[in-house]
Structure 1
Amino acid sequence: MDLFIKLSQFLMSLSLLIILHELGHFIPAKLFKTRVEKFYLFFDVKYSLIKKKFGDTEYGIGWLPLGGYVKISGMIDESMDKEQMALPPQPWEFRSKPAYQRLIIMLGGVTVNFILAFIIYIGMAFVYGDTYIANADMKDGILIENQAMLNAGFQTGDKIISVDGTKIEKFDNDINMKIVLGKEVLIERNGAQQTIKMPNDFVDQLSKFEKSSIVGIRMPFVIGAVSDESSNTELKAKDVVLTLNGEAAKYFDQAQTILENNKGKTIAATVLRDQKEEQVQVAVNADGKLGVQRGGLAMANLEKLGFYKVSKQEYGFFESIPVGITKGKDQLVGYGKQLKMIFSPSTGAYKQVGGFKAIFDIFPSTWSWETFWTITALLSIMLGVMNLLPIPALDGGHVMFLLYEIISGKKPSDKFLENAQMVGFVLLITLLLFANGNDIYKSIVGR
């Protein structure tokens, strides 16, 4: 069932993005009276799962879920239809249209991708608002368990002040990506501020250790269950540990240190049980453990116990517009920085490039519309940016040649465009094999 939910979200998101992207080409093509021969979701190599012709256009669903396409008459594209191009140009063909019309047709797909992402972010701001912890309320600092972060110089209890000079106002999901993409992080430790310079190959380092959050929230030590083998029968499920051996154990990381220092001993503990403090004796085994399962608390309960103040900000429809636009802009800039890192070999970020499995793994195994739309918006931005790369066979490659034509007044020959398309196609196949090869490699080595 979990696999079915993940697969459903993956295919639904991918299909939505493909159809809307291709509509971005299709609609201006039709407005400029350019014939569209095919409109396909997925690729119809050799045969189609479904196809139906309306007017001049065949609509269908292919069997190979690696994308989709529209085939526009008189255009040198991945179909490499040389027979059509050898005939005299016809008024309804792409090549017969003015350069500015061809440019609008080619930019239509990525334009829709960017507009879609901003619409989703605006809609999410309106429907869900913002839930976060004000960074100023993180009085005891953050939790650092990620080995790459420890190697970079971070410690549990640090307070993140700013990243690359931008002050951190909210502790939310975006903080991880800000740190990953940052060059300098200003922290406060034991009342003094200091700057940590992020390693150039930090992204590569992240892949070498067990996956965990870059930074996390320090959580209390909540007893989830007491195993039958445990001698700590005085402990009960839902107990919240407050002190151990007379030392404050407000957070689980503090409790771990105290237990590690008291291996093989029986020590006093204070727990919060049914809103009352209880004194119990606990036995620490030779491994520095209590023989219990760790539990958790919902954010609402953490707030009631005084650990964190969770802020909820709601927006009216018109308030949601600038909020969504800002969110979209930040994601667009962030993805641009990621691409820059990928194309900089010294960062090692290229090793983390993934293919379809990596995208599939992003989706959760439980259905959440909020998560679905968050991922879809990000994928829409990624699709738009990737298609704008000046690589022949991508929209960006066609745009590059059209801009050359508009500026110089000279149109590249069909032969040149055919050769460029072939080079671009080989390059795309190479990138596709590399990305999906990375997925396979990670699956084998477990990283």
Structure 2
Amino acid sequence: MSEHLPQPCDLLIEAGHVVPVQPHAVVLEDTGVAVRDGVIVGIGPRSEMRADWQPARTVSRPDAVLIPGLVNAHTHNPMTLLRGIADDLPLMTWLQEHIWPVEAAVIGPQFVADGTRLAIAEMLRGGTTCANENYFFPDVQAQVYAEHGFRALVGAVIIDFPTAWASSSDEYFAKAEGLREQWQGHDLIGVALAPHAPYTVCDANFERVAAMSAQHNLRVHLHTHETAQEVSDSVRDHGMRPLARLQRLGLVNERLIAVHMTQLTGEEIALCAEHGVHVVHCPESNLKLASGFCPACALARAGVNLAIGTDGCASNNDLDMFSENRTAAILAKAVANDATALDAASTLRAATLGGATALGFADRIGSIEVGKQADLVCVDLGQLETQPLHNVISQLVYATGRHQVSDVWIAGVSRLENRVLVDMDIDGIMANARQWRERIASVRG
């Protein structure tokens, strides 16, 4: 028991269990976390925390586990409005014959704003507090994320053909620079460069991306090695595999967020480890599009930082990181033919601190540590589906559903309370979704 006077704080969260993620695989029992000015200022046994802190508000969840907010490390969140329009198709057919034509007809600032808002609501109810975004009109996305107090790394798209966002390479890069300048130093919003893929970006534009990334220390968020066809086409067109081409162009480094990576040799895995490349595993999207299997276990064992993402709702079809984590862990075992591959604690780490590290946010989020931002999630493990509770971390990865998320905070601000979203117009979001359904149906005929 402390003898000094208790210190004031804004919030004291008491949970039956706390999984801080760092240190690895640790579970703290009957623990309190104190928050002041959006920052974690104390962690300890509940009785000690009650003696040491005088909170303006206490939230007590004795049947819950408190975890860091989940980081969805690869999203196209406005595509929530395209959920289910072109299912059961291979990637290039899905893209070229369905997604791109519909986007060309409907995409614009309002589509992006409404889709992003729908995604934020879905993510919050599923315990996700941060997204790595890759879509057009990133200026609109950034405004909507900031409006709702949601943390995001927003990607400035670079692609070789005109879109509603930009009509030329120079305009794509000018808008990327404007986005960087506008959001530089923001508490919640960061900016990355998002060249779409090796098959849609030429060498000259990749070289401009590499130069801008190095100059401003920007992450490069890129789909690559997603399918066998992508790799064979690269060999045909460039005389080398995509990763070798990226290395030649100066992009294989610690700023690269390489998404999907289902087609990798042992040498390529070693290259990623050597140069600090971050890999985002999107198992459900890859499975649904039959794109291949990311060798997640081999990457992790080689020392590559592994993160987890859902991809967009047009190819997943949800933003459920609990489902994604379970799939990632189970698929890794099958791919490696090893039941010990990507264990539960390592999976949860990939979905939190791994994602934060990939985005360049690890100094702020991804684990429950004093000095970090209070991006926190309470998950109710007292329900029938997660009883009896033999192992908290295993239960989180293998048995828990997103419906068990009870409370969410971002930078100490309540965003979900007892399953109720805070300061979000759910009726309006639903009405907008229905309007877009009708408009997209009319476009498709």
* TM-score, with length taken from structure 2: 0.23
More helix by share: 1
Larger radius of gyration: 1
